[in-house]
Amino acid sequence: MSIWMDESAGDRVDEPLTAEVDEADTAADDLLAPIGAGEQWTPEQGYPDSSLSVRIWVDENLRLTKVRISNRWRDRAKGTSLSSMFDEAFLLANATIGSSAPPVTATTEPFEGSATLSWESLDEVLAETVRLNEESARLDALPYHEVAANRWLGNRVEGLSSNQMVAVLLSLHGHSERIAFSEQWLRQARVSEVCESVMEAHRSAYAQFVPPVFEPGDRQRLADRYSRLAERSKALMGDQAPQGGSR
């Protein structure tokens, strides 16, 4: 059975469970203690879930760098799941750091035409302006579904821990989208083992990830052409009077 199909019941806890705890696990609870009155949370303390059972650290690209889980997470997980706790922590990290998709920038294709200010180059700018305005009007007249939208071309990636007990699904942009745990293993695994398996699954997924490619839609391509035309006009206006005499 797929690990993704086990998640609904696998890490949800409805009755007390026991797990072996070592000294390294006990030390981790110090990181999960509630913040006292007057103290302010900072990202350096890690991103916690609402129950303070899970805490994660990520880099500027939202890649997981460290994880800590409370020894008491099973007691706090009644009515929820460890996967949901991780969802909350990553949601906080995403909201704090920023957008889940890279910004879209205009393409840098050069404007074809005369490089100096002349009557010919001015005619080229005016002709391109007419063409762009006509294209804009054509797009405005089309039904919404017939206008190609921007899109990212790529794939989501799944990574597994070495023991096959934890699976991580990365989004199209390489961010943690979901973590699933094996039900039977999670019931007896030590906290330190769970933390290490979560990190292993992420490392496996990151190693497979290929950044998506941006494909501009109709309006984005038109906007890029307008941008190049504007840059072309600014460059020409920096020259002297049009060469080639008066008309």
Task: Return the structure tokens found at 148.
Answer: 């190609």
Distances in Å between the alpha carbon of 10 and those of 39, 74, 187, 192? 36, 12, 8, 18
**pLDDT score of 38 more than 90:** no
- Out of 31-35, 37-41, 172-176, give the one with best mean pLDDT: 172-176
Tally the C-alpha atoms within 13 A of residue 186's C-alpha that lie toward its C-beta: 26
Q: For 43-66, write each residue's pLDDT tens digit.
A: 888 999 999 999 999 998 899 999
Q: Which region holds residue 98: left if phi is over 0, alpha if psi is between -120 and 50, else beta? A: left
pTM, to two decimals: 0.70
- pLDDT, residue 16, reads 33
The dihedrals phi and psi of 199, each to the nearest 5 degrees, come to -65, -40
Task: Note whether 56 and 66 are within 8 A (CB).
Answer: yes
Three-class SS of the chain: CCHHHHHHHHCEECCCCCCCCCHHHHHHHHHHCCCCCCCCCCHHHCEECCCCCEEEEECCCCCEEEEEECCCHHHHCECCEHHHHHHHHHHHHHHHHCCCCCCCCCCCCCCCCCCCCEHHHHHHHHHHHHHHHHHHHHHHHCCHHHCCCCEEECCCEEEECCCCCEEEEECCCCCEEEEEECHHHHHHCCHHHHHHHHHHHHHHHHHHCCCCEEECCHHHHHHHHHHHHHHHHHHHHCCCCCECCCC
- CA 12, CA 14: separation in Å to the nearest integer? 7
Which domains are delineated in the chain? 3-102+151-213 (3.30.1310.10)
Q: For 66-115, write each residue's pLDDT tens digit.
A: 999 999 998 887 788 999 999 999 999 988 887 656 666 655 565 565 56
